[in-house]
Every structure is written in structure tokens, then in C-alpha cells.
Structure 1
Amino acid sequence: MALRRVIAVVAYLDVAATTRVEPRVAEVVLHWMTEDFGNAGSRTHEYGARAKKAVQQARSFIAGTVGAKTEEVIFTSGATESNNIALLGLAPHGEKSGRKHIITSAIEHKAVIEPLTHLRDERGFDVDFLEPGPSGRVSAQAVLERLRPDTLAVSLMHVNNETGVIQPVAELAEKLRATPTYLHVDAAQGYGKVPADLTAPIDLISISGHKIGAPKGVGALVTRRRGWNKVPLEPIMFGGGQERKLRPGTLAVPLIMGLYEAAKTFRENHDRWEREARALRQQILNALGTTRFRINGDPEHSVPHILNVSFDQLNAEALIVRLKDHVAIATGSACTSASYTPSHVLQAMGLDDDVAANGLRLSWFPSQAQDFDPAQIAQTIASMQPRQT
């Protein structure tokens, strides 16, 4: 029986939270769920052999997208798990070597902030949370100036999930490669969108599938060697030895193959996606010209498909309610949207509480924003803003 559609058809501008699984990807996932359904760890029959071969093909492709080697990719449930394995997995090396200083930014996703807060509060690590200033972009020089002999790692996101601002991870990778400090990059929002950045010699890269049209629940962690030396990670879970003993458990072959297909599809269509996403951004900005608004974050260093704006004397939650039958948008990260507190990202940028509390995030893939009329949202905003006297 076909599933009944229960959500009204509205324009979807919340791809920074999640994307629709594309039909081509869904077909691949279904195939590996119902036909080639073997366990990739089963070695005594063809079902397992086919699954294992498919996983290695996916692993090789994901590695190639970031200029890594096949064996440097481990599959996870998503960027949150990858972040935890990277940061908590490095901690024992820091404790043994006496290098317990970590540099990060105050605009990271909670999946980075919370593991690092745990290391600070429970295990005695010294964590620097750098603030980016109004641009929303952390200075590479500011990071390098904080380096110490005991700095174990720098953890800096690739693309901010609320503002879309691209962080200087490629520049940092080149600078840190000559030091004993490891660079971890949460690339949940940037993977596939700014591909050249991630081919830089970054030690650890966290990837999420559901930001590029793959199913939820799958991602990867790239653990790039420095010459012959592996990143000294220790497991944070145990039981089975899969994925180089860093991520035990039966491999989710259907989800891994969905990630593979989504990554291939996104790569094949990247140039068109970027061109169309940028064109829609300009349409939105042109329409908003009839309102009083400000862009939060440096538009010169941003991905084309995420825009964070605040409107003069206008409550973002009220606007979302007014537009809910027409467009799906958000105030910020889906992981913190239930708290109704000012955005920690916008606050860290030094914006006042009113602006931080009323930032509106629009994020889109052109193929998932069908029937969206930027003029409609602009008219609604204009009607809600008090008249200037």
C-alpha cells in the first residue's frame, strides 16, 4: 500500500536541517535492503561477498572526493558520531603525551561543542573557544596565534550551519601539517558543496549523508595519514572490530550505498546546482530589497544556498508561523530549535540579543524549492514590519 502524503505541499527552504532523499538514491537503498541484503561481514556466501565489495566501492569513491585513500574512510551514522570518534578518540593520546590543549570556535555545532565541553569539564582539557566577530568567519591567523606546545588539535567547521559562512580550513590544513597539532573539520554542511577545500591535508573530516540527498543515519569519518603515521585514535565503542575497530557494529550497507549514490549524483550535478542556487539567492535578495533587513555573516565567504537574515523590528518566530503554509524555513540549527534561545552562533559573532534571537535561516536546493516565490515572503515581511515615521 502506498504511503499517504500527510504534509502540505510547501516550498522547502530548510536543507541545512535535512534534504529529501532523491528518487535515484532511494532506489539504490531499496535494492540493498531487499535484493542484495547480505551482511558485509559474512564471508561464506555470495550475499556477503557482494555486500563487502559494494561497501569497498563506496569507500573508495568517498575517499576520492576528498583526496584520501580508500582505507582512510570509516563509515558512521553521521557527522555527530564522526565528531565524537574524532575528538574523544584523540583524547587518550593527548592525555598520554601531555598535550591537552584544543582550539575550536564558539560557532561550532553542538556535536563539537558538547564533546569538547565534556573533555574540559570531566577530563581536564584546556579548550579555547574563539569568537569570529561580525563576519562569522574565524581568522586562520587567530587560530595559529593560539597554538601552544601542548596543543593537541584544532577543530573548526567547514561551513557554518546557521550562516553558511565558509571557514578557512584549507589554509589551516596547510599551516598545521608541519606541526604536531591535528586538524579536525566538521564538514556536515560543506561536504560536496565546496569540494576543493576538503582535498587539503586535513587530518580528520566528518561527513553527513542527509545534507546531500542521502538517507539520515549515515556518514563517514576520514582519518588521513601523515606519511606512514596514522592519526592516533582510540575507539570510544567496542564490539566486533568493524571499521578498523573504531566503529564496531554491522555495516548499514543500504545506507552506505545511499551515501555513495547521493555523493556521486551531487558531484555530477555540482556545477548546475551551484549556478542555480546562486541565482535563487540573488532572487531572494532582490525581493527582500523591499524590506528592512540585514545579512548575518560575510556574504563574500559563504556557500550559495544558505542565507541568515534579521528583519528590523520583526520577530522571526512570528514570521515563521505566518509563512508556515507557504514555505518551510527555520531560525537556526534543527538540533537546538526547540530551545527558543538566541542563536549561540549569532551571539558569538557579537550581534545583540534582539538580532541573535530573530535571525532567520533560509537554505535551499533549487530542486527542492519548487513553487517558491521570493516576492511572497518579502510582501509578508513588509506587511509585518512597523511603518517608518
Structure 2
Amino acid sequence: MSAVVAYLDAAATTRVESNVADVVLHWMTEEFGNAGSRTHEYGLRAKKAVAEARAYLASTLGAQTEEVIFTSGATESNNIALLGLAAHGEKTGRKHIVTSAIEHKAVLEPLEHLRDARDFEVDFIQPGPSGRLTVEDVLARVRPDTLLVSLMHVNNETGVIQPVAELAQALVMTPTLLHVDAAQGYGKRTEDLAAPIDLISISGHKVGAPKGIGALLTRRRGWNKAPLEPIMYGGGQERKLRPGTLPVALIMGLYEAARSFHAQRDRWESDAYALRERLLTALEKTRYTINGDPEHSVPHILNLSFDKLSAEALIVRIKDQAAIATGSACTSASYAPSHVLTAMGLPKEQASNGLRFSWFPAQVGEFDAEAFAKTVAYMQPDA
């Protein structure tokens, strides 16, 4: 890949920085013990390191240390949270779930499985063109038999922020649980996640950690644990919810990445807003629409549709300038319009031609916004 290509697909993944890579390598080659081996120093040091990492992640979420379990990422965390509640729903007769139609496939597909294979009723709320639900929208769907509300924190395609903290406060005195997929929001808006949210899914590779590591927060309500049953078996690790040998090196990579990101968050946010403004200023002479509510969005994700201009054609034209995407990496092989933009009720052409720009400022490289805008203007037909 040419070094001149700017990286504007950070919502798909971020680069592992050298300090994080060094930590991972150390725990792979020098401190390689199994955290479950308690009869020698190698294992005890690994166990202590994992405990330190767990305590740090819990502290960032305003949670107790034992409420954090390590997983392979947000997809696995989502599956444990959603499928792990099924037995409780069946036992209590509360088999109604509320979600939105713009969730990631890692939430939509487990919920569709519960609907089709286990006879749960799932309400998929359409958010409208803003891409943002209100607390009232959600509460209007909650019933006495509602087991769970599952709502994304930050949309991975539009960057729109959902009011998860306010929703948590509204649900905390009810029997309905709240699950939040925070893959895109953890680190960037972690303060929202300190609210009394029952279940929170985290992905490490969105904040500079290696791929293959994440966490699930299982917050207690008083003395009551989240009523989860395991969906996998084979060991007692992670409170029996995620069996298997703990990947100590990846856990320590997540720990280092989370600490590093927290230390630079204010600078990151300022630089992210600056790049957003630079891009939009450069595009002033083109015809575009921002998909989603810009007043309730994170600074580092921007979804644009250009009038009368094919997203695929533009991606091909600028492949030597910038790496951008039409949407989630998990659905990038499909040529169908974005399910997120379609569920927002956008016109077909607009939904089909949405482009997602997302950035981690220190990892963008050299991005010539003005040259990009000139390319758009050249390709865009006269009105």
C-alpha cells in the first residue's frame, strides 16, 4: 500500500501503536505464564497482571472489578449478553426485547436467532432520518414482559450518539435490563457508560489495542448479578461465562491501549474536531448531505452522500488518496444499501451512496482535504 494513502477507516480498526505492541510482545515472550497456573511464579505474575488490567477497565466504567469479564471483542460480548439472557427470559416469561433497526449485525443477528429459534418477540425501532432515538421512543415500547433493551452507544456508520445514560436512569428502577454495544464509544465518551447500564460490550481494536480482545461489563443491581447463563462450556474462567485460557498478552495490550488513549483523549478530541471541520470546509463547493444528526455525533465519524455521485466510483477514484468505506467492515462485501441508512428512511440513492469517513487523528497520515474535494467536484455532474 502506498504511504501517501490517508487512513480514514478507523471505525473499522485502529493501528496498534509501538508502546502497546511492546507490552503485548513482553507478555508473549518474557512473561508467558498462564493466569490459571497458581503453583508457580509465572502463573501468579500473569494472574496479578490480569487483575490489574481488570481493575483499570472497571474503574473507567465506574464498576466493580469482578463485573468485568474478558472476551475476544464486542461481537462475542454481545452474544454472551443477548443469548446468555435467554434462559432467564424463558424462566420468567419475559420474552420481549426492544432494540433499534440500526444496530450492528453482532446485535441484530443474535436477536434474530432468539426471535426465530426461541420464540422471543423483538421490537426493531426505526430511528428516522436523524439516526437518533429519544428515551421516550424506547420507553414507549417497553412492556411488563420486556426482558431487555439493547441499544448501541455510538453508531458505527453515522457516529450518532444514542442517549444510553439517560435511558439507563429511566430503566434502573424497572425489571427491564439495558445492554449497550459500546464498541465505538468506549474511550471516546466513556463518561456516558458510567451510568447504571447493566451490560456493556467493549472492543479493544477501536482504541489501539490488538484485534481479538474486548470485554463485557456485567453490572450488578444491588446484590443481584446480571442473570446470565453461559453460551459456551469448558472451564471456570471469567465467572464461567467465557471459558478458555485467558489471553494475557492481549489483555495487557488492551490495558496499555486504554490507558494511553485516556491520557491523550482531550488532544484526540480536539484534533478529531479539527479534521472534521477541515474536511467539511474543503467540501463547501460540492453538493453533499450529512447522514445522521451532526449535533449528536462523535467528532471522528462522518457519513456523507454526494449528490448524483456513486460511492463505489468515488472510492475507486480516490484509492491512492484515502482509505474510506461505505459502512461497516462486517458488511463491506455486500453491494446492498447500508441497512443503517435504509432503516433511517433515507431515499434509496442517498442510502446507497453513503460514505463513512472515520479517523484516529494520530493515525490518519497526510490527508489533502482540498485535493479530495476537487476530485469530488470533478466527478459530480452539474446540478
Which TM class, normalised by the smaller chain length?
over 0.9
* 1:234 matches 2:229: yes
- Say if 1:300 and 1:382 are closer, same or farther in 2 by CA, change over 3 A: same
Match of 1:187 in 2: 182
Unaligned runs of 5+ in 2: none
2:299 to 301, 304, 310: 304
Paired amino acid for 2:277: Q
Match of 1:12 in 2: 7
> Using the alignment, how far apart are the partners of 2:103 and 2:344 within structure 1?
12
> Using the alignment, how far apart are the partners of 1:314 and 1:368 within structure 2?
28
SS in 2 for 1:335: helix
2:27 to 6, 28, 32: 32
List aligned pairs for 1:84-103, cutoff 5 A.
Answer: 84-103=79-98
Match of 1:50 in 2: 45
Deviation at 1:9, TM superposition (A): 4.1
TM-score (norm 2): 0.99
> Using the alignment, how far apart are the partners of 2:101 and 2:157 within structure 1?
13
Q: Deviations over 1:327-380 (max 9, x none)?
A: 100000000010111000001111011111100000001111121011111010
> Using the alignment, how far apart are the partners of 1:9 and 1:79 within structure 2?
31
Task: List structure 1 segments (4+ residues) > 2 angstroms apart after TM superposition.
Answer: 6-9
Match of 1:122 in 2: 117
1:68 to 49, 63, 69: 63
Deviation at 1:8, TM superposition (A): 4.4
Deviation at 1:10, TM superposition (A): 1.1
Give the percent of matched residue pairs that are identical in Structure 1 and Structure 2.
75
Paired amino acid for 2:288: F
Match of 2:347 in 1: 352
* 1:147 matches 2:146: no
Q: Deviations over 1:171-227 (max 9, x none)?
A: 000000010000000000000001110000000000000000000000000000000
TM-score (norm 1): 0.98
> Using the alignment, how far apart are the partners of 2:4 and 2:117 within structure 1?
47
> Using the alignment, how far apart are the partners of 1:88 and 1:206 within structure 2?
13
Match of 1:198 in 2: 193
Unaligned runs of 5+ in 1: 1-5
> Using the alignment, how far apart are the partners of 1:8 and 1:269 within structure 2?
25
1:167 to 145, 162, 171: 162
> Using the alignment, how far apart are the partners of 2:59 and 2:139 within structure 1?
29
List aligned pairs for 1:74-85, cutoff 5 A.
Answer: 74-85=69-80
Deviation at 1:7, TM superposition (A): 5.6
Match of 2:216 in 1: 221
> Using the alignment, how far apart are the partners of 2:193 and 2:122 within structure 1?
24
Q: Deviations over 1:264-288 (max 9, x none)?
A: 0010100000011001100001011
Match of 1:3 in 2: none
Moved more, 77-86 or 141-150: 141-150
SS in 1 for 2:285: coil
Deviation at 1:326, TM superposition (A): 1.2
SS in 2 for 1:210: helix
List aligned pairs for 1:281-320, cutoff 5 A.
Answer: 281-320=276-315
SS in 1 for 2:329: coil
2:103 to 100, 105, 108: 108
Paired amino acid for 2:96: H
> Using the alignment, how far apart are the partners of 1:90 and 1:113 within structure 2?
15
Match of 1:133 in 2: 128
2:248 to 234, 250, 253: 253
> Using the alignment, how far apart are the partners of 1:376 and 1:209 within structure 2?
33
> Is the 2:4–2:366 Cα contact (8 Å) retained in structure 1?
no
The alignment of Structure 1 onto Structure 2 pairs a total of residues equal to: 383
> Is the 2:2–2:320 Cα contact (8 Å) retained in structure 1?
no
* 1:363 matches 2:358: yes
Deviation at 1:315, TM superposition (A): 0.2
* 1:327 matches 2:316: no
Paired amino acid for 1:97: T
